[in-house]
Structure 1
Amino acid sequence: MSTGKEQLDVEDDFVAVESDENAQLPAESAKTNLSKRRTIDNLLEERRLQKQLADYDFDL
């Protein structure tokens, strides 16, 4: 643990530069994640419906 008496080196000249490639990355990532989420949701829905169909009593 720190005692609070230690001297920390701090760089004051740090400048965050965002390039065009990095600016596009989060939007594409979010779009891909949404697409994957929809695919997973569809598969889970299909599995749920298959289970309901298997549990359905056809001998009414």
Structure 2
Amino acid sequence: MSTDKDELIEDDFPAQDEDEPQVETAKTNLSKRRTIDNLLEERRLQRQLADFDYDL
């Protein structure tokens, strides 16, 4: 019976080595998200410049 508990506990908690790739993936995803946000901001600003009435 104690072996069943040990197996469950081991399955619930991943080894430390498995956490490292997830951190790298999160950093990569954050970097991609920032790049996309920057591109969208640049497009928004370019539209504002194009729509700006310079005859004021």
Larger radius of gyration: 1
Q: TM-score, normalised by structure 2?
A: 0.69
Aligned residues: CA RMSD: 1.7
Matched with 2:40 is 44
- How many residue pairs match? The answer is 48
Unaligned runs of 5+ in 1: 1-11
Q: Which of 10, 18, 29 matches 2:15?
A: 18
The superposition leaves residues 8-57 of structure 1 with CA deviations (integer Å, 9 ceiling, x where unpaired) of xxxx556435361x221110011111111110110011000000000001
Q: Percent identity?
A: 65
- The list of structure 1 runs, each at least 4 consecutive aligned residues, that deviate by more than 2 angstroms after superposition, is 12-19
Q: TM-score, normalised by structure 1?
A: 0.65
